[in-house]
Amino acid sequence: MEKRDWYIKMIAWREIHIKQRHFVLLLSVIVGFFASVAANILKSTIHFIQQLLTDSFSRFEVNYWYLVFPVIGILLASLFVRYIVKDDISHGVTRILYAISQRKSILKLHNVWSSLVGSSITIGFGGSVGAEAPIVLTGSAIGSNLGKFFKMDQKTLMLLVGCGAAGAIGGIFKAPIAGLMFTLEVLMLDMTLASVVPIIISSVTATTFTYIFSGSAFMFHFDSYQPFDVERIPQFIILGIVCGLVSLYFTRGMNKVEGFFRRIKKPVWKLVTGGVMLSLLIFFFPPLYGEGYDTIEALINGNAASVLDRSFFLQLGDSPWVLITYLSLIVVFKIFAAAATNGAGGVGGIFAPSLFLGSLTGFIVATVVIMLGFEASLENFSLAGMSGLMAGVMHAPLTGIFLIAELTGSYNLFMMLMIVSTVSYLTIIVFEKHSLYAIRLAQKGELITHNKDKAVLTLMKTENVIETDLQVLKPEMTLGELVKIISKSNRNIFPVVEEQTGMLLGIVLLDEVRNIMFRPELYNRFTVKQLMISPPATINQQLPMEKVMQIFEDTGAWNLPVVDQQKRYIGYVSKSKIFSSYRHVLVHFSDE
């Protein structure tokens, strides 16, 4: 009881002495710090496990441990999720989008640590996924739970979720601008300038502490680049189109393969199917082991031949055709490796696979261009491909541009990155209007896009706009009794409810009875049951406001009855009341 009193006093003291706006800035710093700590713990743990397992492997021999380690990792991760976490922690970014859309930006407390453990085991043992989505979920969970602890309102919770995501990206990549762009493009709603400032602070704070923890070196060492040349713009456009098409393959392919695993109901069979698929793919294509950042490092630094290490293809030599064939097969099979990892019970995201595939795609296109007799930089194209795939898969061109520039320090290549990312994005949206993160929610109609109208509707609750002052009618009432009720009412619509069960039977409209209500000889001839009609639709009290508005749009109605799960009458919702509430929330939402 004493602890509870202390907590209440602390919250009250904060509300009195620290302004909300200033406190949010303080919280954004705290969120950024903890996101950085979490990101560095995750990276260190993954690298430790990988070095422990694979450091002794020979570069020039096929290693049969690749058939074992991934299965062990997925098994340990799935057991951890199933028996310790007891909750679904896969698809981290999708879960954040769902929390913003449907759960009022509330993420469970275990998300602060569970994704770290699950993804460390999965990726460390060779799972062909990335650590970025888990760390974004971790950072967002830190922001959400810190906001809940200090009793922040829903708008602030949403902002702190964005701060956590930005801090996570900034912390794991040392890329503060990319952290901001990722949050605005992929996660967040239509933000005001005042909302952007805490996100910037969180991202910069996380990046700063990552510099302190791990030094100032860029994530990828890169110092060999060709300056931008206007004559090569057609090549960049072609690369952008190819990246857009590969992004489309990646998006739809991942969705279909994951759908295949969802149809397998027994966890044991998921583990067996996914484990065997992943192990065989890694055995024949070792670059599919883990995140694939070693492969990216090799391609952007002119050491492409090392990608053939530990594979059967090494015996065929390192001619361009062998290398292109090998890398092309990896591009094709990467979606199967990534989907098998998550489908079998592992924990990971698509951030690293997008960068990995982009690097390979850029290298392949550059090699083909050179074979056709044109000049092209293998290193530049590998970098631009990473930006293009990220822009396409995530529908986030700005994130792709700034992330690659910040990862490598290649700020002189902005024009190339901008062209490839923009063309890739324009290519994929012709075929697929949602990112891979959002497509799962979009298929269920649970996605809020970057739209202030939908953002505001999410902040509104149906229960707050229900009107209960309408006069309720019984079905056995006569027309005469109805006329008396109409004379005392200022409404023109009357719900008809069964007295014993409270079930809504229908409605009586003033317009429908106006032609007979002044004929006393009919007062005992007609009953309410005979005069009532069915409403255009009914609204369940649990429906989110966005779906309520869609029902109004579809029916063309201005007033609709609200019922519970058992179809019992609760009240009425009117468009005018919703618009009034909308204006109020919009002012609050946009308040600087």
Residue 460 banded pLDDT, cuts 50, 70, 90: low
Give the residue extent of every domain in the chain. Answer: 2-214, 230-452, 455-589
**153's tokens:** 């309102």
pLDDT at 117: 93
Q: How far is residue 508 from each of residues 140, 173, 472, 526, measured CA to CA in Å?
A: 49, 63, 10, 13
Q: In CATH terms, is domain 455-589 a member of 3.10.580.10?
A: yes
Q: What does the pLDDT look like over 108-148, one tens digit per residue?
A: 889 899 999 999 999 999 889 988 889 999 999 999 999 98
- Give the percent of the chain with pLDDT over 70: 90
- Give the percent of the chain with pLDDT over 90: 37
Tell me the CATH number for domain 230-452: 1.10.3080.10
What is the C-alpha radius of gyration for the chain, rounded to an integer number of angstroms?
Answer: 29
Cβ distance 283 to 277 under 8 Å? no
Q: How far is residue 317 from each of residues 153, 295, 309, 321, measured CA to CA in Å?
A: 62, 18, 11, 10
Average pLDDT, the chain: 85
pLDDT at 400: 92
Fold matches, 230-452 and 455-589: no
Q: Residue 346: is its pLDDT beyond 60?
A: yes
Residue 535 banded pLDDT, cuts 50, 70, 90: confident
Residue 583 banded pLDDT, cuts 50, 70, 90: low
pLDDT at 179: 92
Q: How far is residue 332 from each of residues 283, 426, 583, measured CA to CA in Å?
A: 16, 22, 50
Q: How far is residue 553 from each of residues 492, 542, 556, measured CA to CA in Å?
A: 21, 18, 5
pLDDT at 215: 85
Cβ distance 508 to 482 under 8 Å? yes
Q: Residue 189: is its pLDDT beyond 70?
A: no
Q: What does the pLDDT look like over 285-301, one tens digit per residue?
A: 999 998 888 899 888 88
What is the distance between the alpha carbons of residues 296 and 385, in angstroms, rounded to a whole number?
11
Render 374-400 in DSSP notation, one character per residue.
Answer: ----HHHHHHHHHHHHHHHHHT-HHHH
In sequence order, what are the residues at sequence separation of 6 or more whose Cβ sits closer than 8 angstroms to the Cβ of residue 204? Answer: 32, 170, 176
Among 277-281, 425-429, 537-541, name the one with the lowest average pLDDT.
Answer: 537-541
Highest mean pLDDT among 61-65, 183-187, 221-225: 183-187
Q: Residue 314: is its pLDDT beyond 50?
A: yes
Q: Within 13 Å of residue 510, how many CA atoms lie on the same side as its CB?
A: 13
What is the distance between the alpha carbons of residues 349 and 46, in angstroms, rounded to a whole number?
14
- Between 264 and 96, residue with greater pLDDT: 264
Output DSSP code: residue 84.
Answer: I
End-to-end alpha carbon distance in the chain: 38
The CATH superfamily of 2-214 is Clc chloride channel (1.10.3080.10)
pLDDT at 533: 86
Rounded average pLDDT over 219-245: 85
Residue 456 banded pLDDT, cuts 50, 70, 90: low
**477's tokens:** 């009432």
What is the distance between the alpha carbons of residues 564 and 567, in angstroms, rounded to a whole number?
5
The closest alpha carbon to 167, from 156, 179, 158, 155, belongs to 179
Output DSSP code: residue 495.
Answer: E
Render 539-583 in DSSP notation, one character per residue.
Answer: EETTS-HHHHHHHHHHH--SEEEEE-TT-BEEEEEEHHHHHHHHH
Rounded average pLDDT over 399-411: 87
